[in-house]
Structure formats: C-alpha cells, structure tokens
Amino acid sequence: GQQLNQSPQSMFIQEGEDVSMNCTSSSIFNTWLWYKQDPGEGPVLLIALYKAGELTSNGRLTAQFGITRKDSFLNISASIPSDVGIYFCAGRLSGTYKYIFGTGTRLKVLA
C-alpha cells in the first residue's frame, strides 16, 4: 500500500528554537493535513493544504504542499513547552476518500 515517510522520527529541542519536519511519498496527493496528538487524545488538526505549492500559516506554524504533490513540510517557529507532542502528516490520494498517515514526529521541548 501507499506509504508516507515522515522525518525526523523524534527530536529534542530547546525552547525558542525553530522546528522543521516533513513527509514524503512516491505517490501523488491532492490534500495534505497536519495534526498534533497529545497522549491519550485524538489528533487535532493544525493546518490543511489543498494545492501544490500552497504555503499556509497558523500562528507559529507554517506548512507547505510540495510542488511535486509528493511531499509536505511543517515548520514551528520559536517553540514553547506546550508544543510537545506527536505530529502527524496525513495525505489523501486523488480519487480516494481515505487519508494515509505518516509515522509521526515526536517533539520534546526542553525549557
């Protein structure tokens, strides 16, 4: 089946640093979503992207839909302790209903 490779798998950063993570695939997607998940809770939608090349911000978060439609990245600027959690990308293939999730990036912020 289709795979979404998400990296890095985990990262430890200092408070105030910027963070970047990405998802890549060999398949072409027509939607990219970025979620944050806290332990024991459901994923919370952060940013949705619908067009190749689209760059969208939500506060300190910025995400881009890759021009090839096979990748996306998420940046977090000036990280704070509450940014701790697992970040997932999810992509929807053209002509399908389902979303495929990446393997997640576990972010830990050191105060």
Partner 1 sequence: EPEVTQTPSHQVTQMGQEVILRCVPISNHLYFYWYRQILGQKVEFLVSFYNNEISEKSEIFDDQFSVERPDGSNFTLKIRSTKLEDSAMYFCASRGDEQFFGPGTRLTVL
45 touches partner 1 by CB under 8 A: yes
Which of 66, 85, 91, 104 binds partner 1 (CB under 8 A)? It is: 104
Output the CA–CA distances (angstroms, integers) from residue 6 to 83, 89, 96, 105, 110, in the order listed. 18, 8, 21, 7, 22
34 touches partner 1 by CB under 8 A: no
3-state SS class at 4: coil
Which of 88, 91, 107, 109 binds partner 1 (CB under 8 A)? It is: 88
Interface region with partner 1, contact rule CB under 8 A, candidates 12-20, 43-51, 64-72, 75-83: 43-51
> Which 8-state DSSP code applies to residue 26?
S
Q: Whole-number minimum distance, CB 49 to partner 1, in Å? A: 10
Angular region, 7: left φ>0, alpha ψ -120 to 50, beta rest: beta
Report the interface residues with partner 1, using CB under 8 A.
1, 33, 35, 40-45, 48, 88, 90, 96-104
